Structure 1
Amino acid sequence: MKLIEGISLNFGELITLIEEDKRDVIEVVLPYSKKLFTIPSNLFIIGTMNSTDKSIALIDIALRRRFTFVKMKPNDELINHPKSKELLKALNQKITEKLGEDYQIGHSYFMKIENDADFSFVIKYKIKPLLKSILWGYGWAKRCTFIIGTIRMLGAIFGDICGSVLNFIP
């Protein structure tokens, strides 16, 4: 709760100002310049949010009340590297089966991969930590088994590159 209290203390007025019905209506005095400030109604705010990060769940709820959210599902057609495309499909299939589609891994992690060295780097420094954070609060030991099975299956296809993902288990 401390995190949310800090956010409301520091960003409460700003979060209120960016609500669509408050733009051009409410003004605040800026602390340093002492000038009046308002958000114009013709300002469109576009952002992204990692909805699988449950450590920000209360912030997520506060923001969802104030904005329109458009869900973007992973799109493997945007990935050129064949191994990356297969890994994303296989992991997301298992993740969807066991945790639900809201926990799927996005395609952006794999879009710039051009070779096996890039692929190995993304697995080690992006996918493994992401899987760890997704699984941490949701029965880590129980949930790991489906990921391990998928990685082993992919290891048979891709060799040691995917096999290295097994090292993410504490």
Structure 2
Amino acid sequence: MTDPIPGARRLTADDLGIGVAAPAVVLQGSSAPDASPLDPEDPQFLEISRLREQFGGVILTGPPGTSKSWLAKESAVLLTEGDESRTEFIQFHASYQFEDFMEGFRPKQDGSGFEPREGVFLRLVKRAGDDVENRLYVLVIDELSRADVGRVFGEALTYVERSKRNIPFSLPSGDELAIPSNLYIIATMNPLDRGVDDVDAAFERRFAKIEMLPDSAVLRERLDANGVPDDLAARLLAWFGKTNGRAKKTPAASVGHAYFWSVVDEDSLRDVWNYQLRYLIERAFKYDEPTLKEVVGGWNKIFEGPVAGTDPDDEPDETP
């Protein structure tokens, strides 16, 4: 081994955030990052709030671009009165583990062995349980179906159910834990993810489900607010409705309204296609060349002006 360069700093795994010492990644995310704050009277928020009296959590399920992450995060803000200490936002992924979520072990600084390390869920459970005012705490889990939820939750999966709150169980460290009734989980999920069946089996009795679909009314309102010309907005909305109508037979073709959140003119709309939508559409219809050509052709006509004999407002049912 060569001698260190004089004056150089030696970095540890903690410094770099890698290896066994790396902390769980805690992210903030939104499918509509510049959207307005959620209205406390919003029907979807009121439904999420109401369901916490009966369920341990709620899963917002729908295709990409339907504002699931934004609604989950904003609902958490309202439920906790904006108190960031009572909210955690995490995103599951294929390598997310029990050690990240509940507890794991990490080497001691002196090299004498290992010590327990609390995961994000365990920390929030303890804060909620220690709250003498019994205020509400909210955990937002983005992309719930991307991880092996049974392994990530472990025995805690049983106790997130509303009827089993405050019942103690043992952690691998030997410590005893009870999930308090003032902790609520809001999760998001893409129904096309490969892990969806496992999530359904694990949570079907424990969590409520709210379906979130592409919404032409939300898109129309956003395009108006962005100052998109009426004729361009009408042609886009017609394509949006027709494409989501096709999603009844081809669910992967669902196009969420949030894809178009930053559209202000033709150039920005072309960017949405060139850098995002094109790949979604090609993947959805890769085994159906005729339909792919129709969808792409319909998109191109958005920029050609109205087609004789068509009514842009005559939009098919877009519910996938």
- State TM-score, norm by structure 2: 0.39
Name the residue aligned to 2:58.
none
The structure with the larger Rg is 2
Deviation at 1:93, TM superposition (A): 1.7
Please list every run of 5 or more consecutive structure 2 residues that lacks an aligned counterpart in the other structure: 1-94, 96-145, 305-320
The residue that corresponds to 1:88 in the other structure is 240
Per-residue displacement from partner, 1:50-85 (whole Å, max 9, x unpaired)? 1123x2233332344131111122211212151543
The structure where strand makes up a greater share of residues is: 2
How far is the alpha carbon of 1:111 from its aligned partner?
2.4
Identify if the C-alpha distance between structure 1 residues 125 and 56 changes in structure 2 by more than 3 Å, giving closer, same or farther. Answer: farther
**In structure 2, the residue corresponding to 1:41 is in which secondary structure?**
coil
- Choose the corresponding residue for 1:107, options 254, 257, 263: 257
State the superposition RMSD in angstroms.
3.2
Q: Amino acid of the residue matched to residue 275 of structure 2? A: Y
Decide which moves more: 4-13 or 60-69: 4-13
Q: 1:31-42, aligned counterparts within 5 Å?
A: 31=173, 35-42=175-182
Deviations 1:88-123 (A, max 9, x none): 212112222x336x8632222222322333322322
Matches within 5 A, 1:14-163: 14-29=156-171, 31=173, 35-53=175-193, 55-65=194-204, 66-79=206-219, 80=223, 81=228, 82=233, 84-96=236-248, 98-99=249-250, 104-134=254-284, 140-141=286-287, 143-158=288-303
Unaligned residue ranges in structure 1 (runs of 5+): 160-170
Supply the AA of the counterpart residue of 1:86. A
- Matching residue of 2:155: 13
Task: Give, in whole Å, the separation in 2 of the partners of 1:19 and 1:49.
Answer: 19
Q: Distance in 2 between the 1:148 and 1:115 partners? A: 24
Cα 1:156–1:106 shift into 2, 3 Å = closer
- Which AA in structure 1 matches 2:278? K
Distance 1:119 1:13, change over 3 A: farther
Cα 1:9–1:107 shift into 2, 3 Å:
same
**Is the Cα–Cα contact under 8 Å of residues 23 and 41 in structure 1 kept in the other structure?**
yes
Partner residue in 2 for 1:165? none
Q: 1:168 corresponds to which residue?
A: none
Q: How far did 1:131 drift?
A: 3.4
Query: Greater helix share, 1 or 2?
Result: 1
Q: Is the Cα contact below 8 Å between 1:84 and 1:113 reproduced in 2?
A: no
